[in-house]
């Protein structure tokens, strides 16, 4: 699509900051308009990356579950991990990816708490933190202009 959605968001932010906000009363109105423009810039970043972030993160969690399930002795949790590891994203809509992501995150929370209760599971904990850290790195937003 031309213009691209992220271009529309960036140019709308510029319009709001440069042409519209100065026409508003100083104080709260101008501040809220500037912050709204800032949110449009962040939304522009997210438009470009939102699907990839979720697809990669979901794949990372499934791979982690496949790797750690054989070392989990809780039978019910192991079954859930194996089922989640075998699941796939059926749609690339953000809402569908988020639904899947939330299911996988819930299971990751349960797995993490379980692993913390085990003795000599430091290597498993380390693997979980690698996945969590990669997720946090991917989702961090860049300060516009920085």
Partner 1 sequence: MNDGITPRLQVYLAAKLGVRDLEISNLARIPGGASRETYRFRARYARDGNTVERALILRRDPPASLIETERAAEFRAYQAFHKLGLPVPEPIALELDGAALDRPFFIMEEIENCAVASILAPDPYGAHGEKIGEQFFRVLGRIAGADPKALGLADFEGARDPAQCWSHEIARWEKVIEEDEREPQPIVRAAIRWLKRHPPPPPRRICIVHGDYRTGNFLFDGEGNIRAILDWEMAHLGDPLEDLGWALDPLWNRGGADTAAGMLSRSRAVAIWEEASGLKVDSAALARWEIFASLKGAAIWISAAREYGEGRNTDPVNAFSGWYCLAFHNKVLAERLAGEFP
Positions touching partner 1 (CB under 8 A) are 25, 27-29, 31-32, 35-36, 38-39, 42, 98, 102, 105-106, 108-109, 112-113, 116, 122, 125-126, 128-130, 132-133, 135-137, 139-141, 143, 145-146
Question: In Å, how far are 29, 34, 91, 109 from 88, measured between CA atoms?
Answer: 46, 40, 9, 19
Question: In Å, how far are 18, 53, 131 from 45, measured between CA atoms?
Answer: 20, 12, 22
Q: How far is the CB of 2 from partner 1 (least distance, A)?
A: 28
Quick one: 2 or 26, whose CB is closer to partner 1?
26
Quick one: 3 or 50, whose CB is closer to partner 1?
50
72-75: list long-range contacts, CB under 8 Å, 24+ apart: 72/111, 72/114, 72/115, 74/114
Whose tokens are 């709308």? That residue is 12
Pull the structure tokens for residue 36.
């709204």
Q: How far is the CB of 139 from partner 1 (least distance, A)?
A: 5
Q: How far is the CB of 72 from partner 1 (least distance, A)?
A: 16
Neighbouring C-alpha atoms within 13 Å toward the C-beta of 89:
25
Quick one: 29 or 92, whose CB is closer to partner 1?
29
Quick one: 52 or 116, whose CB is closer to partner 1?
116
């Amino acid at each position: 699509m031309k213009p691209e959605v992220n271009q529309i968001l960036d140019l709308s932010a510029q319009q709001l900051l440069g042409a519209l906000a100065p026409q508003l009363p100083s104080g709260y109105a101008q501040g809220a308009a500037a912050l709204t423009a800032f949110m449009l810039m962040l939304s522009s970043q997210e438009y470009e990356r939102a699907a990839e972030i979720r697809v990669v993160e979901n794949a990372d969690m499934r791979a982690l579950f496949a790797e750690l399930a054989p070392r989990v002795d809780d039978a019910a949790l192991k079954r859930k991990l194996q089922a989640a590891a075998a699941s796939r994203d059926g749609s690339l809509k953000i809402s569908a990816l988020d639904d899947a992501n939330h299911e996988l995150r819930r299971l990751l929370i349960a797995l993490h708490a379980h692993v913390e209760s085990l003795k000599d599971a430091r290597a498993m904990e380390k693997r979980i933190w690698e996945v969590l850290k990669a997720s946090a790195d991917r989702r961090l937003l860049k300060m516009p202009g920085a």
